[in-house]
Amino acid sequence: MMTVSTLWWLIAGAAVIAELLTGTFYLLMVALGLAAGAVAAHLGLPVTEQILVAAVAGAGAVGLCWRLRRRRAAPPPPQANPDLNLDIGQSVAVSHWEADGSTRVHYRGATWQARLAVPEPVPTPGTYVIRAIDGSVLLLGH
């Protein structure tokens, strides 16, 4: 005869397996709630209280996980992510700007087309930093 706690552990294990198959981290939090239900069963609590403990623990874990993920800053888009493109953050010298806001800069042994990432009314020559890359155009900023 299977005990109630064993049933809780089996369901928690199934949630962990489902999480491994889908990669949904929230299912792992649900599995924690189910494990809390199993612990409640081991402590001899009635079934309704086991369900309540599992629901509160699972919902709390999911809520905490959701809150922590929301607090984290979103990564920059791939064309502006320095982890994906090592040119981001490098300096280039701009000698002059064209009337349309574009320029040509010498970078890594080649001449590149460039423009400001955030357009300014009258850009000035000087040293700029590569903020992103749009195709083969460097997007520059201060």
Which comes out higher in pLDDT, residue 76 or 64?
64
Q: How confident is the model at residue 135 (pLDDT cuts 50, 70, 90)?
A: confident
- What Å distances lie between residue 108 and 92, 112, 140, CA to CA? 10, 9, 15
pLDDT of 78 over the 80 cut: no
By the 8 A CB rule, do 41 and 9 touch?
Answer: no
Give this prediction's pTM: 0.55
Residues in CB range of 104: below 8 A, 6 or more apart: 111, 112, 113, 114
10-64 pLDDT, tens digit each: 999 999 999 999 988 889 999 999 999 999 999 999 999 999 999 999 999 999 9
- What Å distances lie between residue 127 and 27, 42, 88, 92, CA to CA? 49, 68, 14, 6
Query: Span 78-141: which CATH code?
Result: 2.40.50.140
Say which amino acid occupies 32.
L
- The angle at the Cα of 78, spanning 91 to 98, to the nearest 5 degrees, equals 45
Which comes out higher in pLDDT, residue 77 or 22?
22
Q: Where are the chain's structural domains? A: 4-71, 78-141
